Amino acid sequence: MAGEKHVETTGLLGWVDRRFPATATWKAHLSEYYAPKNFNFWYFFGSLALLVLVIQITTGIFLVMHYKPDAERAFQSVEYIMREVPGGWLIRYMHSTGASMFFVVVYMHMLRGLFYGSYRKPRELVWIFGVAIFLCLMGEAFFGYLLPWGQMSYWGAQVIVNLFSAIPFIGPDLAIFIRGDYVVSDATLNRFFAFHVIAIPLVLVGLVAAHLVALHEVGSNNPDGVEIKQGPKDRFGRPLDGVPFHPYYTVHDIVGVAGFLIVFAAIVFFGPEMGGYFLEYNNFIPADSLKTPPHIAPVWYFTPFYSMLRATTDDFTWVLSGAALLGAIALFFKGNFKGVWRVIVPVILVAVAVLLRVLDAKFWGVVAMGGTVVILFFLPWLDHSPVKSIRYRPDWHKVLYAIFMINFVVLGYVGTQPPSPALNLTSQIGTLYYLAFFLLMPVWSRLGTFKPVPDRVVFHAH
Amino acid sequence: MSQNTMVHGDDEGAVPTNLPPDPSRRFWVTTACALGGVAGVATAVPFISTFAPSAKARAAGAPVEVNVGDIPVGQMITVEWRGKPVWIIHRSKEQLEGLKVNDPLVADPQSKRPGFTPAYAENEYRSRKPELFVCVGICTHLGCSPTAHFETGGAGGLPSNWEGGFLCPCHGSTFDLAGRVFKNKPAPDNLEVPPYQYLTDARIVIGVDEDNKA
């Protein structure tokens, strides 16, 4: 037939291929996508994140069949799923465990990127899509947490929505706009339901597709931070240090999936509440708009950022203000900005230093909480180290990374605890370290003696 | 040669590779995009407007009448007004004395900051009559409801000079028995005093005062 495309496949697949790039897509993303052969343990978490997304969407669809997004009936309908729907308890525990495991997997995945410089040129967009996925995931988790309509659901949503009321001038009206009422109510529950089950998941799936397309365009990084596309190639032009994703890494990832599912099933069947960390005890009490539970804290995956929110007290803004002033002076005399930026950037920092004392500490707490996530978007341009991978960085860099990880866990722990002066000081030190780690990265990341980077990836056959 | 001129070469490629820009076409492309954008924004308005509180939600804020004559001295009751807890405390003499002790410790002793205190409550007691205190039991930080700690002295992590008051479980803000926030706490303002007035000595209505009609 005239105009029909010539393809190599025959039969039904040939018929499809003449009309749709089925084989071409399969080859581009799986059977002829060459990934570095030296992937290690840390490279399981990307495919595991995809697996958890599938688990969450599947279990979510079945939960929606029985759940009622109505302030009068939401709490009961969740108990109905747990007690009366056959297998409902299992689906619900898979969904609630999946939410926490999503963050476990994604935090590991991000840490991997941090270790091996996977955000560096040319993978900036892969990283940016990834941080956007992380933001969506936080939104998804937050909206979903209101749905059981327990005490933690209610007061957690109350606190987070009130964060927006800290924004000067428009804040209080914005908070009413988000709730659709003067308090968290049925209207709030309904819209959060809409965001949780359709709006955010659609964006999330689109971003995951963009993340993968961008990754496959530039190729995967690896633990050595060496570009395999610039290394030696075979006579077909395929990188010698690469292996086809399918079957090598698809089969390899099945090992990771098996290990992950063992842990996942163990939690679902033996400890779905995880001692109050995955499902908080106060959420087994129906929402009461007149009484806040004696101790409220977000779920564990938000607590590091929540700690930084709590750390920002009126006293602490003096410290931050001083830091901004020092930064302005340092940038003016030592900075690398060209032309007018040499003046503009320090002036902006001085303005921030002044505003830190003018506006409420409450507002800056919100800025700290949001800013510590948003700062991740800029990581590709903050890191100036001559090597990508932590393997070839000076040893004291590894110490900084280790402290960063410990600091993040400590901030997370502090966020789960009731406020106290000692813990508050801890979270303030932790917040300073977190901010300094990223904001001073342009300086420290280029200091020290770097080790020579090999021309090809380091790989020992088993 | 401009884009308006049809070009036919010898082979199948009917479109030459380099066309000079056509100003009139540029103008109409820009105009169409601008008008389309305006239409798009205009369409978004009704969708966005559905986020605002519904007529039902706006109508729900009816005033609440409360009998305050039978609250024991030193005790508190909680009533619901506009979905929020409203505390009514019958303060004792000692508790009122404690407020004076707190004056140097609280951030805004005379409630001068605007927005949270009606004019008739801009005093040390933050109330119309010193013994009866009415306030919205929602922390001005992030909206948790603080818990009452009326016992004096430092129990449960409270300072030893504690004269009775409230502790917010979420972020540790503390308030005295006039809802005044202590210095250097996350909450930026004193607890909100709602509009209220006395109907009789033993009966008040919340949500109504000289400036706010029901």
pLDDT tens-place string over residues A265-298: 999 999 999 999 999 999 999 999 888 888 888 9
Q: Per the CB < 8 Å rule, is A180 touching B54?
A: yes
- Residue B132 backbone phi and psi in degrees, to 5: -100, 120
Taking the Cβ of residue A362 and every Cβ of chain B, the question of whether any pair is shorter than 8 Å is answered with: yes
Q: What is the pLDDT of residue A171?
A: 87
- Are the C-beta atoms of residues A186 and A70 closer than 8 Å to each other? yes
Residues of B carrying an active site annotation: 171
Whether the per-residue pLDDT at B200 is higher than 50: the answer is: yes
Residue found under tokens 């005044």: B180
Cβ–Cβ contact A417 with B under 8 A? no
The predicted structure's pLDDT at residue B1: 44
CB distance B87 to B145 below 8 Å = no
Q: Is the pLDDT of residue A400 over 80?
A: yes
Percent of chain B at pLDDT exceeding 70: 89
pLDDT at A31: 95
Alpha carbons A146 and A80: distance in angstroms, whole number: 17
User: What residue of A is the nearest CA neighbor of B184?
Assistant: A314
Residue range A195-222: mean pLDDT, rounded: 97
**Does the CB of B148 have a partner CB in chain A at under 8 Å?**
no
Q: Decide if pLDDT at A402 tops 90.
A: yes
pLDDT at A162: 87
The label of the residue with tokens 């100036």 reads A384
Cis before A247 (ω within 30): yes
Mean pLDDT over each residue of chain A, to the nearest integer: 93
Contact B51 A163 (CB under 8 A): no
A interface mutation test: which of B87, B108, B141 has the most A CBs within 10 A?
Answer: B141
Q: Which of 191-250 (A) contact B at CB < 8 A?
A: 191
Closest CA to B116 of B88, B138, B98: B138
Q: How many CB pairs under 8 A join A and B?
A: 96
CB A67 within 8 A of CB A74: yes
- The model's pLDDT over B127-145, given as tens digits with 9 standing for 90+, comes to 999 999 999 999 988 888 9
CA pair distance A434, A457, nearest whole angstrom: 31
Whether A310 sits inside 8 A of B171 (CB atoms) is: yes
Check if B54 contacts A (Cβ < 8 Å): yes
Q: What is the 3-state secondary structure (H, E, C) of A138-196?
A: HHHHHHHHHCCCEHHHHHHHHHHHHHHCCCCCCHHHHHHHHHCCCCCCHHHHHHHHHHH
Q: Is B13 on the interface with A (CB under 8 A)?
A: no
Measured at the CA of A83, the angle between CA A82 and CA A89, to 5 degrees, comes to: 35
Residue A253 pLDDT exceeds 60:
yes
Q: Do A295 and B144 touch (CB under 8 A)?
A: no
Percent with pLDDT over 70 in chain A? 99
- Which residue from A9, A75, A29, A409 is spatially nearest to A215, judged by alpha carbons? A29
* CA-CA-CA-CA torsion sign (A308, A311, A314, A319): negative
Q: Which of A291, A292, A313 sits opposite B170 (nearest CB)?
A: A292
pLDDT digits (tens, 9 = 90+) for A115-149: 999 999 999 999 999 999 999 999 999 999 999 99
Mean pLDDT of A196-221: 97
Selecting from B54, B57, B144 the residue whose C-beta is nearest the C-beta of A158 gives B144
**pLDDT, mean of residues A228-232:** 92
